[in-house]
A and B are shown apart, each in its own frame.
Chain A
Amino acid sequence: MSAVLFFIAAIGVITGAVGVVVLRNPFFAVLALVGHLVSLAVLFLLLRAEFVAAVQVVVYAGAVMVLYVFVVAYVGGEGESIGERLRRGTSTSGMRVGGAILGGALLVELFIALLGTGLEATSGYGAGYVPGPQAYGTPAYIGKLLLTRFLLAFELASFLLLVGAIGGVVLARRRGGIDEFSGRQAITPLNLLRPRATGTTAEAVGTATVHDGGSRYGA
């Protein structure tokens, strides 16, 4: 039973991965990645990592992929499949072939490293498993580890998430541009702390000093 489930999930994982690499439309690539992630969660369950599987489905396939779908819908941008680029024979197609060769070499190397290893335990079925409320892989087990042995890693990861959230907001925020130069501009207390005529794209183009005339705008 578990072998059947493994093969179904493994085929789903690999098909999803191939879909991400090959599909032309980025939107379909995102959908392929969602299928890949859900199949991967099944593999995690087979490895008795219940909590990680749940996180994978809820956070990864749920939240992160929704973010991707939003950005793909906003940016759009038709991709181009590898096959087409190879057939077109541009000057970079040699590099594409080189990339494929390097990918194949990486695969062979990984197989040698992982399967040709002298570790006999890799051909076993893993350590013993005793079911129970605090067994290996349950939320209670993971939570205990996270808040005792790995407390520092936990705190650092949460700090990293904070940095990531702030970085995302700063990078993607709406800057005052040249087009909306005379339009409604939000004035915040932070504007007082900023040098005059900075903080907009008008500054980079060099029109800021011409049109600014002492007023503060932007943010």
Chain B
Amino acid sequence: MSIDWYLAVSAIVFALGALGVMTRRNPLVVLLCLELMLNGGNLALIAFSRMWGNGDGQILAIVVMTVAACEVCIGLGMIVAIYRRRLPIDVDELRELQG
């Protein structure tokens, strides 16, 4: 398949992830949707890397995966800390910082 198709899939996945980040209220699901957005970006990176026959995009994709792993680690740690304090697991309720 030509590169176009991969880019189309990556755009759809990214938009779906953005939709989920904007509409879901459970922070766990918001983190999952962030993963979706990162994966859409990764797919575009690897498609462009294939287009040029150059490995740079793949290296960047691996770095993005590292960043995603760190984000998951910190985000899940925060969710566990929120849960321990008996606060609601809901991004609309947690608005002490006026978010």
Contacts and interface: CB of A to CB of B under 8 A. Distances in A.
A10 B9 contact: yes
Contact of A172 (B61, B70, B76, B85): B76
A114 interface: yes
Contact of A124 (B2, B15, B19, B58): B2
A169 B44 CA distance: 33
B23 A21 contact: yes
A191 B30 CA distance: 37
Q: Is the interface of A mostly helix, strand, loop or mixed?
A: helix
A21 B24 contact: yes
Contacts of B4: 115, 122-123
Contact of A21 (B19, B65, B85): B19
Contact of B53 (A14, A136, A167): A136
Nearest to B8: A115
Give the bracket for the number of chain A residues in contact with chain B.
Answer: 35 or more
Interface residues of B, number: 72
A118 to B, nearest CB: 13
Contacts of B62: 52, 55, 142, 146, 157
Interface string B47-85: 101111111101101110111111111101111110111
Interface of B: 1-20, 22-26, 28-29, 31-33, 35-36, 39, 42-44, 46-47, 49-56, 58-59, 61-63, 65-74, 76-81, 83-85, 89, 92
Interface of A: 2-3, 6, 10, 13-14, 17-18, 20-21, 26, 29-30, 33, 36-37, 40, 43-44, 46-49, 51-52, 55-56, 59-60, 63-64, 67-68, 71-72, 74-75, 77, 79-80, 82, 85, 92, 96, 99-100, 102-104, 106-107, 110-111, 114-115, 121-129, 136-137, 141-142, 145-146, 150, 153, 157, 160-161, 163-165, 167-172, 174-175, 201
